[in-house]
Amino acid sequence: MLLIAGLGNPGATYAKTRHNIGFMAVDEIARRWNFGPFRSRFASFTSEGSIATPDGAVRALILKPQTFYNESGRAVGEALKFFKIEPENLVVFYDEIDLAPGRFRMKAGGGAAGNNGVRSITSHVGPYFRRARLGTGHPGQKELVHGHVLSEFHKADQKWVEPLIAAVAEALPILAAGEDEKYQTEVMRLAPAEKTDPRKATRDAT
């Protein structure tokens, strides 16, 4: 079984913010692959379904922690323990300020790089999970990061947000098959975005 977690903050206030692009991604995955309705469990909203791959269907659980972003690990840890899922079968979709807007990178293991949601998950399940990093750009100064991630996407951002979200859902069978590098390549083929300095790209977009 694959556990697909999206990071974000609960409630309408945060729904359209950069920090919630992980929620946006898993919502689109659930829609694209006809997952079941979301229900409340593991301090999260969860949805179950399956993903067709060349080797057969892969069962998957989508998880949207409702614990607030910085405490995501508690919900993820509960779900992993309940289903006896190994961390290598956990994929976490989240915003990455150190990637230019629209860029996408897969990474397995490693540190939190200042992301408190990732740090929380690591504290509960260890670092050896798969990270699906959705580039949202950097505001340029450390003291502006908090406001940046909790601000809503600009209308101009939709030209890359919508294609990126669609691409991560469309290419999902590759991820479900365990081919993370190929998944990254396919997402960027479906939703190409220029590789630029994440700080410069974000300033230019404002």
Q: For residue range 80-122, what is the model confidence (pLDDT) as tens digits? A: 999 999 999 999 999 999 999 999 999 999 999 889 999 999 9
pLDDT beyond 90 at 206: no
Distance CA(106)–CA(32), nearest Å, equals 21
Domains and CATH numbers, the chain: 2-205 (3.40.50.1470)
What pLDDT does 201 receive? 56
The helix-helix angle for 180-190 and 158-170 (nearest 10°) equals: 140
Token pair of 60, please? 């998957």
Q: What is the pLDDT of residue 103?
A: 97
Kindly state the percentage of the chain with pLDDT values over 70. Answer: 97
Answer whether residue 31 shows pLDDT above 60: yes
Res 203: pLDDT: 53
Q: Catalytic pick from 19, 124, 138, 154?
A: 19
Predicted confidence band of residue 204 (pLDDT cuts 50, 70, 90): low
Question: Model pTM?
Answer: 0.95
Whether the CB-CB separation of 42 and 63 falls below 8 Å is answered with: yes
* Catalytic (active site) residue 138: no
pLDDT in tens, 41-80: 999 999 999 999 999 999 999 999 999 999 999 999 999 9
Per-residue pLDDT reduced to its tens digit, 142-175: 899 999 999 999 999 999 999 999 999 999 999 9
Strand ranges of the sheet holding 130-135, from the earlier edge strand across to the other edge: 39-41, 44-53, 56-65, 2-6, 90-96, 130-135, 104-108
Residue 43 tokens, joined: 């301090």
Asked if residue 202 has pLDDT above 60, the reply is: no
